[in-house]
Amino acid sequence: MINLLYLFSEIEDDFIIEADGYQVDVNKVKKKTHFWKKFSVAVCCIALIGVLIVVYANYTKSNVIKAKNLAADRFDDFAAEFDQVLYSNQDEVVFVDYRGIFVYSLSLEKLTAYANFRIYNMIGTQGDNYTRVIVSEDGQYIKFYDDNNYYLFDTQKNIVKKIDGYENYPDFEEYEIEILHPDDPNSFDSGHPTYIGTDGKRVSFVLFIDDYNSITYNNLFLMKETDNEIRYYQLFK
């Protein structure tokens, strides 16, 4: 009698199976199956990466700061909504206008954060259903909202988060910057309000105009008091 256990023990891995007149190399089948498994995993990974890239790109577009594009906005179309300083210290100035909330770094001399009102369907800081703005004491968090939408802006991370009403969100102490009266002898003679930052230094805006028929945000400069002088910063360039 043939020892079946012996026969099976002698069969090598690359044996051939015959069925219905076809021959199949098991090892080749295994290799092909393994290849397609790897291929499927690779395709899934690539697809996932693609989705993440699209999501990230769409997210970052909301907060990308293109100062040159913003500089082209005309000033004479919205004279009633001049920029206002919300917060100021020795490192940065946070200000708002009808387009959104901006953070300007004094050391880097550029905008570092931007909450674009336009993409959140906000209409400005005046008029019906205007955008209200509340600043935290340290200037990092800013709530902005109208009658229908509520947002929280983290100025350090440059992130805007939509929230379901402020009554359900942790509150913070509201900060109100000091504004000097135009008749105050310490006010800048800039034609615009002078603010006092948390560092005790004055800050304001001034327009340097070459052509009164074409006033844009490119003409807007920030005036900031330092220990020794008044410095001027072109905000949108």
The domain segmentation of the chain, as residue ranges, is 24-63, 67-234
Q: How far apart are CA 123 and CA 56, in angstroms?
A: 26
Quote the tokens at residue 38. 């790897």
**Average pLDDT for runs of 10 along the chain of length 237:** 42 39 46 53 54 41 60 62 90 93 95 90 68 92 88 93 72 90 87 93 90 81 93 93
pTM score: 0.70
Q: What is the pLDDT of residue 8?
A: 38
Cβ contact 191:206 at 8 Å? yes
164-191 as b/e: b if 16+ CB within 10 A: eeeeeeeebeebebeebeeeeeebbeee
Cβ contact 115:100 at 8 Å? yes
204 Cβ contact partners less than 8 Å away, ≥ 6 residues apart: 85, 187, 188, 190, 192, 193, 194, 195, 222, 223
Q: How far apart are CA 43 and CA 45, in angstroms?
A: 5
Q: What is the pLDDT of residue 215?
A: 80
Q: What is the pLDDT of residue 166?
A: 65
Q: How far apart are CA 71 and CA 112, in angstroms?
A: 15
